[in-house]
Structure 1
Amino acid sequence: MAQHFLLSAKARTLSPIKIARLSDSEAHARLMEARWNSTIEQICPRCGIKHQAYFISTRKQWRCKHCKHTFSITSDTIFANHKLPIQTYLFAIALFVNAVKGISACQLSRDLCVQYKTAYVLAHKIRESLIVQRELFPLSGEVHIDGTYVHSAPRPKNKKADRVDRRRKEHANPNKRTVLVMRERYSAEETTQNLDLVGAKKTFTFPILSENTITVNKLAETYIQPNSRIHADENSAYDELLVSYDLRRVNHQKEYRSDEGITNNLAESYFARFKRMYYGQIHKMANVYLDNYANEIAYREDNRRVDNLSLFKDVIEKCLTTSSDNDWKGYWQGHHRQVERLVM
């Protein structure tokens, strides 16, 4: 029997201990290489010209020779105006990518020896950098689609006589949401060329109010190419997909796998990891940030066979290319996201 990837030496190419032991100059050089592909030349964030700018050693900043703009290694990135040492951010990213089911802000605060508030915002900044432009990468081929409910019901009353039927609409939890997932499978040709390319290839997640025909059709038309093969369960919300897609169904009330071999396992495997993060790590998810949590697990699932050093470099690159103007700039000063990222 072949060894699982996560148990092999190929998966362990990054040591968080070595990251924590980096000197100031080594950490600075690593970020320069990640952002500008050079430790000698810099790219001015204002004029965009790549050159060897004047280095202000006392402040570890550069001054552009063309527009005279002063900038640092984190200027205009998600870590702009940082107060912690660069080594702390690199160590936090190393811990983040090594936590296969996510990491809580409470644990991150203990590992980094920082306040909970600092760890909370730092973790969400990393999650925000993982958001991708889904419109550029529509799904095709075989696509599995399903939804799962979060915050479905509050804790029931102690006395049975005081409890209400949560199945009735008037007693439903107003915070109840659905995470809809779409996952594209690697094609047979891709699997033949590389035996490691099995299972899901690409994952899209969408926080919605509920699984209904209008929302499902809207998302499918936007993110799934016509005539693709869609695997779904018996939920009536997917019935109209039969018009534009090759719809295959499995009735989970009767079976996990149909006699024709139809399953929805790619979606179910995503929900398995998502719920383990929810119940085992995070415990509480605000609806206004539900899309960040759902997308984090989508990223982890899509890169489940990538070694942790490559993940580390990829997350750093994403953080350095994410604008500083986001929902987490000045969070503890009252700058909060006001509206949920919901698909209506």
Structure 2
Amino acid sequence: MKTEFTLLTLSENFPDEESCIRYFEKMRWGDEVISPYDSNSKVYKCGNGKYKCKNTGRYFDVKTGTAFANTKLPMQVWFYAMMLCLSHKRSISSCQLARDLGITQKTAWKMLHKIRQYMAMENNHTLSGEVEIDEAFVGGKNKNRHKDKKVEKCQGRSYKDKVPVFGILERGGKVIAKVVPNTQAKTIVPIIKEKVELGSVVYTDGWDYSGLHGKYVQRSVDHEKHFYGTTYVTDEGEIIVVSTNGIENVWSHFKRMIFGIYYHVSKKYMQRYIDEYIFRFNTRNYSDSQRFNLLLRNVA
């Protein structure tokens, strides 16, 4: 089996159900099968891919306790769904996935949400060094709404009709993003303290977070005054770039994913779509097969 594969060569690596199961077993257990009911128990191999836990007397297979458990779909279909989702630059809609795999849209929608649950593990890093923070407000524009659906005074930082999302980008590194109830300092500051190491340099877009004083170095730009950033050199020769262009670039690509693929996302599931995008961004330097294996390990 090739260690590097693409959507085109996926059928060569996983030509049948048995090959998918064996690959997932290797990913989950390595060389020794471990019972999900008692990790210290001896395990007996049975027929049809089943195993028996000696201490509990219960049967299981490699799918037990994972996203693949209790599904009527073959593992091969799940592998193709994951690869189709990951190989597209801005993801794939449930309607398109249903056509590609010959399944119903409802089934494809559920599969994609299952996959997103395991992408969320990549949205939980601790960041350090120089970080940029910013909020985004995800939702439709008033000018695109019918006149009886327009919302008054909803522009700017108003989120009456939008979902506020808070993001933190480590320059040259990873990003995390969370749906928040509001963008007040009492909501934002605890997230920064939890996810950013003390002593880091925090770049903001003009908002002064008093709760960060003494714990972080805070530098700001002021977009309201059309100040979008500057670069200067300190007496020690350190080059300082004051801007939040990095995190704003993250939001730009995220909104293009929403508008280009999904068109509309409900507030209820917004965090899952954010988790999917963060997974893509944080693995932007991975190959398709590396990204596929990372996601499969998360499932395992």
Q: Deviation digits for residues 14-68 of structure 1, max 9, x if unmatched?
A: 2223324511221221111111113xx42111011475522222xx322223432
Name the amino acid aligned to 1:207: V
Correspondence for 1:83 among 54, 72, 80: 72
1:276 aligns with 2:251: no
Aligned to 1:332: none
SS at match of 2:223: coil
Aligned to 1:138: 126
1:303 aligns with 2:283: yes
Question: How far is the alpha carbon of 1:243 from its aligned partner?
Answer: 4.2
Counterparts in 2 of 1:1-344, with a 5 A limit? Answer: 13-20=4-11, 22-38=15-31, 41-49=32-40, 53-57=44-48, 60-132=49-121, 137-151=125-139, 153=141, 155-158=144-147, 165-167=152-154, 174-185=160-171, 199=172, 201-234=173-206, 236=207, 238=209, 240-253=211-224, 254-260=226-232, 261-320=241-300
Name the amino acid aligned to 1:165: E
- Distance of 2:152 and 2:180 partners within structure 1: 23
Question: How far is the alpha carbon of 1:230 from its aligned partner?
Answer: 0.4
* Closer, same or farther: CA 285–167 of 1 in aligned 2, 3 Å: closer
SS at match of 1:53: strand
- Distance of 1:119 and 1:149 partners within structure 2: 28
CA RMSD after TM alignment:
2.6
SS at match of 1:82: coil
Aligned to 1:192: none
- Distance of 1:91 and 1:237 partners within structure 2: 47
Name the amino acid aligned to 2:128: S
Contact kept, 8 Å, 1:153 with 1:176, in 2: the verdict is: no
Question: How far is the alpha carbon of 1:71 from its aligned partner?
Answer: 0.5
Unaligned runs of at least 5 residues, structure 2: 233-240
- Distance of 1:94 and 1:133 partners within structure 2: 17
Name the amino acid aligned to 2:135: G
- Distance of 2:26 and 2:57 partners within structure 1: 23
Name the amino acid aligned to 2:37: R
Question: Which sits farther off after the overlay, 74-83 or 245-254?
Answer: 245-254
Q: How many equivalent pairs are there? A: 285
The percentage of counterpart residues that share the same residue type is: 25
Q: Deviation digits for residues 246-290 of structure 1, max 9, x if unmatched?
A: 011122341432243311122122112211111001112121211
SS at match of 2:8: helix
Contact kept, 8 Å, 2:168 with 2:176, in 1: the verdict is: yes
- Distance of 1:173 and 1:149 partners within structure 2: 7
- Distance of 2:189 and 2:120 partners within structure 1: 23
* Closer, same or farther: CA 128–229 of 1 in aligned 2, 3 Å: same
SS at match of 2:81: helix
Contact kept, 8 Å, 1:212 with 1:237, in 2: the verdict is: no
Contact kept, 8 Å, 1:134 with 1:223, in 2: the verdict is: no
Contact kept, 8 Å, 2:50 with 2:60, in 1: the verdict is: yes
Q: Which has the higher contact order (CA 8 A, sep 6+)?
A: 1
SS at match of 1:304: coil
* Closer, same or farther: CA 209–237 of 1 in aligned 2, 3 Å: farther
Contact kept, 8 Å, 1:42 with 1:50, in 2: the verdict is: no
